[in-house]
Amino acid sequence: MFEARLLQGSILKKALEGIRELITSGNWECSSAGISMQGMDPSHVALTVLMLQNDLFDQFRCDRNVTLGLNHATFSKILKCAANDDIITLKAEDQPDECNLLFQSANDDKTSDFIIKLTDIDQETLGIPDTEYAATVKVPSVEFQRICRDLSQFGDTIIISVKKGCVEFSGTGEIGSAKIALKESGNVDDDEKVSVEMDKDTPCSLSFASRYLNYFTKATSLSDTVTLQLCPEHPLVVSYDIGDNGSLKYYLAPKIEE
Amino acid sequence: MPGQRSITSFFSSP
């Protein structure tokens, strides 16, 4: 028996917004630790990893590990039937062929009950090695969304460069070029803060497909800040924290430098 | 996609 009740049902709605255009369907692995889902886009350029720990839920029960093979277009259609302030409960049997979704309005005057049929998804799980990143940058998620959108007008590649105290995003194309630099904020302790941490103060610069960065920013509403981690010759990590008990992370393979 | 590396060249199946 699996049952998970999420008071802040909007979290699930927002998380799926950040997933559904990248991964058509995925195995949502439920265990006593929580719910996780990993998947690649059809071109195998980006890996998306969602983690919802049991503490994120106000009620969580998972007697045996359960795999929910979900079609994300269908899942998204059903979640759109939930209001932003609804409480969402997911329920499934031990070896399920369907999953039950229950939406309760905040004042408990409306309940909606849905059943989604599960599919067998033959999907390999990739191992993500521990990496010491050369640079870790935190920026307001709305700012990152805007930069990715603005630079996409110039070409299909965005170069992210980190040097001491500064992160620079640039793009070049037929119409011209653009360069947007964010300087590290002073001692401001709020979500507007930009922080740049570097290992060994070595500048780091990598090129990425703007299309994928724009897909990732669909998760903007999950968190006020986004963390970017870079390492030469490694995938970029773009992380949105879901409170203290969850995260949506994207790993994006770099483009080959010309 | 030209010039694009694959994520599977970095991460492998355990």
Q: Which among B4, B3, A95 has a CA at the least distance from the CA of A46? A: B4
Residue A146 has pLDDT above 90, yes or no: yes
Enumerate the β-bridge partners of residue A249.
A49, A239
Average pLDDT along chain A: 95
Q: Write the residue in A44, A125, A209 that is nearest to B8 by C-beta.
A: A44
Q: Read out DSSP for B1-14?
A: -TTB--GGGTSB--
Any CB–CB contact under 8 A between A258 and chain B? yes
Q: What is the pLDDT of residue A105?
A: 97
Q: Which residue has the higher pLDDT, B2 or A72?
A: A72
Are residues A44 and B13, on separate chains, in Cβ contact within 8 Å? no
CA B11 to chain centre: 7
CA distance B8 to chain A (A): 7
Residue B14 has pLDDT above 80, yes or no: no
Query: For residue range A206-218, what is the model confidence (pLDDT) as tens digits?
Result: 999 999 999 999 9
At residue A189 the predicted structure's pLDDT band, cuts being 50, 70 and 90, is low
Are residues B12 and A127, on separate chains, in Cβ contact within 8 Å? yes
Are residues A253 and B13, on separate chains, in Cβ contact within 8 Å? no
CA distance A209 to chain B (A): 8
Are residues A45 and B4, on separate chains, in Cβ contact within 8 Å? yes
At residue A202 the predicted structure's pLDDT band, cuts being 50, 70 and 90, is confident
Burial (CB < 10 A; 0-12, 13-18, 19+), residue A105, is middle
Mean pLDDT, residues A6-28: 97
Query: What percent of chain A clears pLDDT 70, i.e. is strictly above it?
Result: 98
Q: What is the pLDDT of residue A235?
A: 97
Mean pLDDT, residues A154-176: 94
At residue A200 the predicted structure's pLDDT band, cuts being 50, 70 and 90, is confident
Chain B residue numbers with beta carbons less than 8 Å from the beta carbon of A39 are: none
Q: Which residue has the higher pLDDT, A198 or A189?
A: A198
Q: Which residues contact A108 (CB under 8 A, 6 or more apart)?
A: none
Any CB–CB contact under 8 A between A23 and chain B? no
Q: Write the residue in B7, B13, B14 that is nearest to A235 by C-beta.
A: B7
Rounded Cα–Cα distance for residues A164 and A211 (Å): 27
Q: What is the pLDDT of residue A188?
A: 63
ipTM of this complex: 0.93
Mean pLDDT, residues A49-57: 98
Do the beta carbons of residue A211 and residue A222 sit within 8 Å? no
Residue A79 has pLDDT above 80, yes or no: yes
Mean pLDDT, residues A98-116: 96
Return the residue in A23, A45, A157 with the most chain B beta carbons within 10 A, the one to mutate for interface testing.
A45
CA distance B1 to chain A (A): 8
